[in-house]
Amino acid sequence: MTMKAYLYNKCDTCRKAKKWLTDQKIGFEEIPIVDAPPSKEELRQIWQTSGLDLRKFFNVSGVQYRELGLKDKLPTMSEDEMLELLASNGKLIKRPLIASDRTVTLGFKEEELEKAWGGKA
């Protein structure tokens, strides 16, 4: 699997992550997360690779998250329902989401990207 960076061009953290990857000369396929969110099965694979709690994949600061009342609904949702919901709306996914077949990062923290993807010190 090629390294994929699911980004939203109006998102500051996505722009920072893209700049960081480019500055580090790390090759990646850029995918517009809002226009082309990962499918349910792609998300399942990314989530399983990450080892993270599936709820970490939700953009808890997003408008849709609040409008849908997900803070209260997620605890009772099945993994399948959560994956379906994430795949249906790229704005619900925490971004940037950067994934390969071995590593996954959510959000932009330079130290975490450096640890996960390498790059200059």
Share of the chain above pLDDT 70, in %: 97
Q: What's the whole-model pTM score?
A: 0.92
> What separation in angstroms does the CA of 79 have from each of 32, 92, 111?
24, 15, 29
CB atoms within 10 A of CB 93: 24
Region 88-108: what's the mean pLDDT?
96
Q: pLDDT by residue (tens digit) across 38-72?
A: 999 999 999 999 999 999 999 999 999 999 999 99
Region 15-24: what's the mean pLDDT?
96
- 78's tokens: 């099945």
What confidence score (pLDDT) does residue 119 get?
A: 67
Q: What is the mean pLDDT of the chain?
A: 94
Q: What is the 3-state secondary structure (H, E, C) of the chain?
A: CCCEEEECCCCHHHHHHHHHHHHCCCCCEEEECCCCCCCHHHHHHHHHHHCCCHHHHECCCCHHHHHCCHHHHHHHCCHHHHHHHHHHCHHHECCCEEECCCCEEECCCHHHHHHHHCCCC
What confidence score (pLDDT) does residue 41 get?
A: 97
What confidence score (pLDDT) does residue 84 get?
A: 97
What confidence score (pLDDT) does residue 2 get?
A: 80
Structural domains in the chain?
4-117 (3.40.30.10)
Region 25-45: what's the mean pLDDT?
96
Res. 121: pLDDT tops 80: no
